[in-house]
Structure 1
């Protein structure tokens, strides 16, 4: 059975910001559709491409799975006072939840950066084709994800080689904890070792400095295995 792809249109930060802003203002789903479609016209001329972008945006922030509504709602509350970097973190987390393909690409990109400090489209394509099959839909989606990364400013392209931008430092604890929780849910992991968080491949755009004491009294639980292994899991 072929794995679903779905992510087939490049997104920009202001498009993601707009749907979150309008979500609280709109009186109905149809009104939100219309406002988002109107705003996308400035970036996307074709109606089919615009519809695809709107579908993706709605899946990320509006039409979320029932089990993700609570964490989405907490993300919306955090968004109100978020900086640009924190808004990017919130969008990143919600895309990881909405699109496993996006998460798999982020995971492979993060691994390639850790191994080589850069990657080519060919290197990344081989890894994604191994997961999803070598078909046109996968190629289109991969280009859309890479285009989104470039629009978000987290990678840049130099002579067909991609390099990472400087990592985005996140300082407020509530954003870091929210992203860790999202990462666990999106990866369907019950727990992760504390020291692994800093090098988790799918979180490659961000620098998350977190300690055991930061995790107390939150949505995450701490367990110890042996003398020096601290595991972080979902409650």
Structure 2
């Protein structure tokens, strides 16, 4: 049986940055929902899709998570609070820690790199299709470069 991707929305870095800043400023869930909805309105016209995108953005930066230590999440939030601009590495670290799909992509790349092996984007795609199946979400990943 294939794994589930659990991440199916197009996400802009500027959205990640803004949500990280709002979380670091201490906004609560209800306020975040409203702010993120307003931020996404010009880009995501469908209310249902906007809600799904909002939830993925907020869940990434939410400190409530069973899959990572609270201290790791708090470190990321504290780092954003101290800096002028959120570091992309923090977004990427949280994506890897909270979502197996991203962890599997990085694991494949890391294993190949560890042994000095070169690899193509097509090999990463093939590996992900083997793990997750040839679903619509995986097809979108395969088109994103």
Distance in 1 of aligned mates of 2:48 and 2:124: 27
- Using CA pairs below 8 Å that are at least 6 residues apart, which structure has the higher relative contact order? 2
CA RMSD of aligned residues (A): 2.6
Would you identify which runs of 4 or more consecutive aligned residues in structure 1 move more than 6 Å?
Answer: none
Distance in 2 of aligned mates of 1:31 and 1:126: 41
CA contact (8 A) 1:59 1:98 kept: no
- Bigger-Rg structure (1/2): 1
Match of 1:74 in 2: 75
Match of 2:100 in 1: 100
Q: CA deviation at 1:92?
A: 0.8
Match of 1:116 in 2: 118
TM-score by length of 2: 0.78
Distance in 2 of aligned mates of 1:93 and 1:57: 14
Residue pairs, 1:216-231, within 5 angstroms: none
Distance in 1 of aligned mates of 2:102 and 2:53: 14
Q: CA deviation at 1:109?
A: 4.6
Deviation string 1:191-226 (CA, Å, 9 cap, x unpaired) is: xxxxxxxxxxxxxxxxxxxxxxxxxxxxxxxxxxxx
Change (3 A) 1:48 1:101: same
Distance in 1 of aligned mates of 2:91 and 2:104: 16
Choose between structure 1 and 2: higher helix proportion: 2
Deviation string 1:38-70 (CA, Å, 9 cap, x unpaired) is: 101232222232222112112211164245222
TM-score by length of 1: 0.51
Q: CA deviation at 1:119?
A: 2.2
Residue pairs, 1:165-184, within 5 angstroms: none
The answer for unaligned runs of 5 or more in structure 1 is 148-156, 158-235
Distance in 1 of aligned mates of 2:70 and 2:33: 19
